[in-house]
Structure 1
Amino acid sequence: MFGSRQTGVNAYAKVGMETGVVAASPHKLIVMLFDGALVSISNALMNMRSGNIGEKGKAISKAIMIIDSGLRAALDKKVGGEIAEGLDALYEYMSGRLLTANLKNDPAILEEVQRLLTELRDAWNQIGDTPKAPQAAAPSSLANKYASA
């Protein structure tokens, strides 16, 4: 008649997440994408180290999807100009590195992408919901660094 306790907890967690997404500002949504990608990479690392190849692959695929279909898709290159172009190149680089990490089963590559995403998320958090011109340029140095990679 009733589902398991875990099913109920999962249902409430899903409703909480969906409510958070609906109520979130565009800035917060980007932070949520960064956090989701970072959680997926952490899961991939854990599964890689424990030899769980299937779950590792799923976690890496999820991280790539978040980067490509979330973070890259959210870029407005017309408005964002050079910064958006640099971020697009950086996101493309990260997706490629994640694919390489999956194929080579290399945790160091996952850790590299994890560091990059963490730096971007931290810079994005510093910008806040109302970016000011000097702060808005913060992520560009990292993006430009990897644009030519």
Structure 2
Amino acid sequence: MAINKHPHQAYQQNAITTATPEQLTLMLYNGCLKFMKLARQGIEQQNIEVKNVNLQKAQNIIHEFMVTLNTEIEISQNLLQLYDYIYRRLIEVNIKNDLTILEEVEGYVVELRDTWKEAMLLSKQAQPVQGGQA
């Protein structure tokens, strides 16, 4: 019988594979913020590798948001412009080690994440109750 040596990794993998698309999006926003925080620590500690790796991870998440937008929905064009701006600013942070720029884009990602959480809550509240009276 195999014993799982990494229960936390197994839990995370299970959370991802069983998550709804909405939950996955929320996880990506949270992951992006986590990588920005780690990049901030890398800048503060003058650890170029930590800064670079984590900014690239944050950029990859923002890029994923950009390429998966449904461009037939009107708001998508506005989101695409915002994501593109965040993406370019993250590159600038990586080049300049500028914590002010990082703070700016963190604020945008926090707003996007919080708006997404609110939309998920409203969507859940608007769904009809299953298994009720006929």
What TM-score range do you get, normalising by the shorter chain? 0.7 to 0.9
As a proportion of its length, which structure holds more helix? Answer: 1
Match of 1:59 in 2: 54
- Identity of aligned pairs, percent? 32
CA distance in 2, matches of 1:77, 1:83: 8
1:68–1:122 distance in 2 versus 1, CA, 3 Å: same
Q: CA deviation at 1:73?
A: 2.7
Question: Where do 5+ consecutive residues of structure 1 fail to align?
Answer: 1-6, 133-149
CA distance in 2, matches of 1:112, 1:13: 32
Cα RMSD (Å) of the superposition?
1.7
Aligned residues: 121
Question: Where do 5+ consecutive residues of structure 2 fail to align?
Answer: 125-134
Query: TM-score scaled to structure 2, two decimals?
Result: 0.84
Match of 2:63 in 1: 68
CA distance in 2, matches of 1:131, 1:92: 27
Runs (4+) of structure 1 exceeding 3 A deviation are 129-132
Match of 2:101 in 1: 109
Whether 1:19 and 2:11 are equivalent positions in the alignment is no
Q: Is the CA contact 1:25–1:129 (under 8 Å) kept in the aligned structure 2?
A: no
CA distance in 2, matches of 1:32, 1:53: 26
